[in-house]
Amino acid sequence: MKPLFLNPPTFEDFDGGAGARYQASREVTSFWYPTWLCYPAGMIEGSRVVDAPVQRLDLAGCLAIAKDYDVVVMYTSTPTLSIDTTTARAIKAQKPGTVVVFTGPHVTIQPEETLRFTAGAVDIVCRGEFDYAIVELCEGREWERIQGISFMRDCKALHTEDRPILTDLDALPFVSQVYKRDLPIEEYIIPHFKSPYVAIYTSRGCPAKCTFCLWPQTYSGQRMRTRSPQNVYEEVKWIKENLPHVKDISFDDDTFSADRKHARAVAELIKPLNVSWVINARANCDFETLKIMRDAGLHHVIVGFESGNEQILKNIKKGVSKEQAIQFVKDCKKLGITIHGAFIMGLPGETRETIKETIEYAKRLDLESIQVSLASPYPGTEFWEQCKREGWIASENYIDDTGHQMCVINYPHLSNQEIFDAVERFYSKFYFRPKYIARSIGKMIVDADVRRKLLKEGKQYFEYMKKRKTAQPAK
């Protein structure tokens, strides 16, 4: 069977593709690659990957493509399950014989609930990593003999045995080759990356125990598995030779720096290629590892600081102290590595005082850019179980009608309205301080490209905040 791997239509500027780290409309346009969908696509002849949000395809456009395929594989999420089910129903209505498959963390944790919710629209749910499950499906293997899938039979949900996690990552194709074949690379933008960029994985899984983090707890696992450094080198070399216009390579692993020996080995191998790259890192990476990576082309890191309150960091089992994070920032600045910091409002233990503390902490760190999210308890995470147990979940509506993130957490001592409002206050306090404004103006004066970029992003930010003010915390 010939498969279509579809990242379905969602909302304007919705950064929630397969592999994305944020499932909501963003302040500034951001698009991550549908990396998870591209791995099996690279192993099946006649496959195609379509990324509807990036390729500006509406439902009609997706249906026109889907009619030529026997299988449609979609990555869905907790916030987008309903809208993705609408796409699935339309595919089925157009061509009833199409086998529709849902993948992703949400369906992994709630396979039977998903099958009943999507009854008549979705045939199969893949639990966990689905690379070889889709290959076997398209080869024609009986469903009962495919590990890691769930489907309905005589009104009962059948679950095949779990598929062991994939350990031989070198056996997978280079997703960058699938990007070149199927996707408009120039359209993928992350504001704090050089553009255009490509994103690849050098590992799967993360050993950290953060209670709120979706992927390691539900999908990629808390056992880190790595590609051989030589295999990573070969793909980076292929990118340099075949995608010469690409200016940045994102090693979009859950945490590239978690295995320092592997990180150093990859850096040493790719150093002669003279490429520019970025990583997701934890704020406990040591100076020597950072230096080895910097000398090999690393110029930017994405780091989850989450909170500026030590007790909250302990509550979420972050495993990184404020002291470590402050030293990490100092090391990066000394080495000339820029930082994009991620923070979360509304984690367990949050109060009006800790919100102020985190904002002041971010200002003192003086990072190049930040993103501020609302704490979202996704099914399958320890945070979700805690919220259910304590009665903190006010709603199951994680996003509003336009895709903007809603605050579904309501504490007895801190309302979801206060948490919701804290995000805008955080952005304003960080970006509109004199030191940051002066630095931005200096960059714009010196560099015309930076000037155009910052002005464009500034306009998007104000438009986003204008829309966000019309939204309300989930009731």
Report pLDDT digits (tens) over 312-331.
999 999 999 999 999 999 99
Report the pLDDT value the prediction gives residue 466, as an integer from 0 to 100. 63
Report the pLDDT value the prediction gives residue 22, as an integer from 0 to 100. 72
Q: Which residues of 392-429 are buried (b: 16+ CB within 10 A; e: fewer)?
A: bebeeebbbeebbbbbbbbbeebebebbbbbbeebbee
Average pLDDT over residues 425-449: 81
Q: How confident is the model at residue 440 (pLDDT cuts 50, 70, 90)?
A: confident
Average pLDDT over residues 9-13: 84
Q: Look over the chain and give the mean of its residue pLDDT values, rounded to a whole number.
A: 92
The 3-class SS string of 80-141 reads CHHHHHHHHHHHHHHCCCCEEEEECHHHHHCHHHHHHHCCCCCCEEECCCCHHHHHHHHHCC
Q: How confident is the model at residue 302 (pLDDT cuts 50, 70, 90)?
A: very high
Q: How confident is the model at residue 472 (pLDDT cuts 50, 70, 90)?
A: low
For the stretch 121-164, pLDDT in tens is 999 999 999 999 999 999 999 999 999 999 999 999 999 999 99
Q: Do 115 and 151 meet the contact criterion of CB atoms below 8 Å apart?
A: yes
Residue 448 in tokens:
């015309």
Residue type at 31 in one-letter notation: F
Give the helix ranges, DSSP H, for 149-298.
Answer: 175-182, 214-218, 229-242, 260-270, 287-295
Q: Do 24 and 403 meet the contact criterion of CB atoms below 8 Å apart?
A: yes
SS3 content of the chain, % helix, strand, coil (to 5): 45, 15, 40
Average pLDDT over residues 356-379: 95
Report the pLDDT value the prediction gives residue 12, as an integer from 0 to 100. 80
Report the pLDDT value the prediction gives residue 158, as an integer from 0 to 100. 97
Computed on alpha carbons and rounded to an integer, the radius of gyration of the chain in Å comes to: 22
Average pLDDT over residues 279-289: 97
Q: How confident is the model at residue 30 (pLDDT cuts 50, 70, 90)?
A: confident
Residues above pLDDT 90, as percent of the chain: 82
| Cα–Cα distances in angstroms (integers) from residue 106 to residues 53, 79, 102, 109, 165, in the given order | 20, 9, 10, 5, 18
The answer for 98, left when phi > 0, alpha when psi is -120 to 50, beta otherwise, is beta
For the stretch 34-65, pLDDT in tens is 999 999 999 999 999 999 999 999 999 999 99
Least confident of 368-372, 387-391, 443-447: 443-447
For the stretch 154-186, pLDDT in tens is 999 999 999 999 999 999 999 999 999 999 999
- How far, in Å, CA of 27 to CA of 457, rounded? 9
341 CB-side CA count, 13 A = 28
Please indicate, yes or no, whether the overall pTM of this predicted structure exceeds 0.85: yes
Report the pLDDT value the prediction gives residue 291, as an integer from 0 to 100. 98
Q: Examine the pLDDT at 455 and tell me if it is beyond 70.
A: no
Q: How confident is the model at residue 19 (pLDDT cuts 50, 70, 90)?
A: low
Report the pLDDT value the prediction gives residue 448, as an integer from 0 to 100. 66
Q: Examine the pLDDT at 294 and tell me if it is beyond 70.
A: yes
Q: How confident is the model at residue 31 (pLDDT cuts 50, 70, 90)?
A: confident
Q: What are phi and psi of 228, to 5 degrees?
A: -65, 145
- In the sheet that holds 298-306, the strands lie side by side as 197-200, 248-251, 277-281, 298-306, 338-345, 369-374
For the stretch 386-434, pLDDT in tens is 999 999 999 989 988 888 889 999 999 999 999 999 999 999 999 999 8
Report the pLDDT value the prediction gives residue 437, as an integer from 0 to 100. 82
Check residues 26 and 5 and name the one with the higher pLDDT. Answer: 5
Q: How confident is the model at residue 438 (pLDDT cuts 50, 70, 90)?
A: confident
Instruction: Please give the helix or strand (H or E) that residue 61 lies within, else none.
Output: helix 59-66
For the stretch 230-262, pLDDT in tens is 999 999 999 999 999 999 999 999 999 999 999
Q: Examine the pLDDT at 265 and tell me if it is beyond 70.
A: yes
